[in-house]
Amino acid sequence: MSLTPEQLERYARHIMLRELGGPGQQRLLNAHVAIVGLGALGGPAALNLAAAGVGKLTLIDDDDVSLSNLQRQTLFRTGDVGRPKTEIALRELVALNADCKVVVRNERLTTGNATDLASDADCILDGTDSFSSRYAINEAAHALGIPMVSGAVGRWSAQVSVFRSGETRGQPLADRLPCYRCFVSEPPETEETCEAVGVVGPLTGMIGSRLALEAIKEITGAGESIAGKVWLFDGLSGDTRTVKLRPDPHCPVCGD
Ligand SMILES: [Zn+2]
């Protein structure tokens, strides 16, 4: 399938990139990304992926827009308060780019439905703020053998990582990639959600966009995957650092 004249114009700034070009754009148009959570991270990630021409997005969230979301969740307008996030996201993304088929699932992802919700996705993007949701996404990504692109924000700091354990299943430990559960083996006793500790608004747009960037890299093979690493950012100092993660041989998800 070749790109139409409209697509050549719409995606011109991608097509001129050596690492993407026409073939990379075609891969994006053929790709399916499942986004779990349409809040501070999933919203900007969804906008960026729809704009980039990802062919199908499955949006999974069961929340309504609330007034306290609007300080950072730029997908929503004041008049959207009280409406389902999936409904507003569908409206905005379809208006942005008709190349992007948007499927909405107004439900909460659990270990019971995760594999079904993400089936035939090329990549699953974690925009949630709970450890139980992240564990469910991780198990589904591992079982389906697809990358989990994950971000977290709180106060002034953030982290981003990609988990691809499902692709190295059964290989010797030295060749395996870690899963999310290798990184966070047990949930902390108190969950530091944005609701509990606060978060500076623009940090969430930055990290949501970064998740979209890593998803585009995973889909097209551009550059180097950050799988097996966690990238940490401190917004107060502006410092970043990258930490290597190791696969845990005793991990209940990907271990022996
Ligand atoms: Zn693991």
**Would you state the pLDDT for residue 185?**
93
| Distance from Cα 255 to the centre of ligand 1, integer Å | 6
Other beta carbons within 10 Å of 249: 11
CB within 8 A of 1, min separation 6: which ones? Answer: 26
Task: Tell me which residue of 136, 150, 148, 124 sits closest to 207, measured CA to CA.
Answer: 150
**Would you state the pLDDT for residue 26?**
98
Whether residue 194 has pLDDT greater than 90: no
Q: Where are the domains of the chain?
A: 31-149+201-229
Tell me the sheet residues that pair with 32.
56
Q: Is the CB of residue 8 less than 8 Å from the CB of residue 16? A: no
| Distance from Cα 122 to the centre of ligand 1, integer Å | 20
CA-to-CA distance for 15 and 239, rounded, in angstroms?
32
Under the banding of pLDDT at 50, 70 and 90, the label for residue 193 is: confident
| Distance from Cα 131 to the centre of ligand 1, integer Å | 14
| Distance from Cα 229 to the centre of ligand 1, integer Å | 13
Per the structure block, which two tokens stand in for 175?
A: 């060749």
Express each pLDDT in 112-168 by its tens digit. Answer: 999 989 999 999 999 998 899 999 999 999 999 999 999 999 999 999 999 999 999
Express each pLDDT in 30-51 by its tens digit. Answer: 999 999 999 999 999 999 999 9
| Distance from Cα 95 to the centre of ligand 1, integer Å | 39
Block residue for tokens 């650092």 = 241
For residue 7, how many C-alpha atoms fall within 13 Å in the half-sphere facing its CB? 19
Q: What is the mean pLDDT of the chain?
A: 96
**pTM, rounded to two decimals:** 0.96
Which string of DSSP letters, residue by residue, matches the chain?
----HHHHHHTHHHHTSTTTHHHHHHHHHT-EEEEE--STTHHHHHHHHHHTT-SEEEEE--PBP-GGGTTT-TT--GGGTTSBHHHHHHHHHHHH-TTSEEEEE-S---TTTHHHHTTT-SEEEE----HHHHHHHHHHHHHHT--EEEEEEEBTEEEEEEE-GGGSTTS-GGGPPP-HHHH-SS--SS---HHHH-B-HHHHHHHHHHHHHHHHHHHH--S---BTEEEEEETTTTEEEEEE----TT-TTT--
CA-to-CA distance for 147 and 89, rounded, in angstroms?
23
- Could you tell me the CATH superfamily of domain 31-149+201-229? NAD(P)-binding Rossmann-like Domain (3.40.50.720)
Helix axes 21-29, 201-220, angle to 10 degrees: 110
Under the banding of pLDDT at 50, 70 and 90, the label for residue 73 is: very high
CB within 8 A of 232, min separation 6: which ones? Answer: 157, 158, 159, 240, 241, 242, 243
| Distance from Cα 166 to the centre of ligand 1, integer Å | 9
| Distance from Cα 174 to the centre of ligand 1, integer Å | 13
Q: Which amino acid is at 6?
A: E
